[in-house]
Amino acid sequence: MADFKRHGARYRARRRAVDIMFEAEARDLDPVGIVDERAQLARDPENAVAPIADYTRQIVTGAAEKLDDLDESIERFLSDDWELGRLPAVDRAILRVAAWEIMFNDEVDGPISVVDGVEMASQYSDDQAPPYIHAVLDDILQAQAANAPTKEDE
């Protein structure tokens, strides 16, 4: 078992967001609804449900709201041999969480999202996932950097 104690709160929040996004897709539920349900359950200590971190809620809500934009960006950078709908659901969840951070959260440096996404892929998915997840997230990061306003634009 990996030592998750070496990871900070944001990594743990990302990991929980991936779990929730995966569960939502598998159960065909609204991921924000799952967050709300877990938060409610966590209020009672007898339920043994971990509280939902604010950052997990922010990721899940943001990814749910921007799902079409995320999927479009991910599909844009998948190789011709891959289709988003044919990827394992866990890989889609990882890609969506990391892509949301890269595209919509200026508080996190993009390379951190890429590294954490690849690490989660190596933990949760098969051996094929980390290289292509790295490539897709890196391409999304590069596209964001190319579209970022420069000081001259401000």
What CATH number is given to the structural domain containing 43? 1.10.940.10
82: left (phi over 0), alpha (psi -120 to 50) or beta: beta
Which residues have a Cβ under 8 Å from the Cβ of 110 and sit 6 or more positions away?
101, 102, 141, 144, 145
Closest CA to 100 of 136, 135, 64: 64
Residue 12 has pLDDT above 60, yes or no: yes
Q: Is 3 within the bounds of a domain?
A: no
Q: Is 152 within the bounds of a domain?
A: no
Range of the domain at 77: 8-147
8 A C-beta contact, residue 51 and residue 80: no
Percent of the chain predicted with pLDDT > 70: 92
- Predicted local confidence at residue 127, as pLDDT: 93
Q: Is 60 within the bounds of a domain?
A: yes
Q: Tell me which of 81 and 28 has the higher pLDDT.
A: 28
- Predicted local confidence at residue 3, as pLDDT: 46
8 A C-beta contact, residue 97 and residue 59: yes
Most confident of the ranges 10-19, 43-52, 145-154: 10-19
8 A C-beta contact, residue 99 and residue 137: yes
Q: Is 62 within the bounds of a domain?
A: yes
Range 90-94 average pLDDT: 97
Length of the chain: 154
Q: Is 1 within the bounds of a domain?
A: no
- pTM for the model stands at 0.90
Q: How many domains does the chain have?
A: 1
Percent of the chain predicted with pLDDT > 90: 79
Q: Is 154 within the bounds of a domain?
A: no
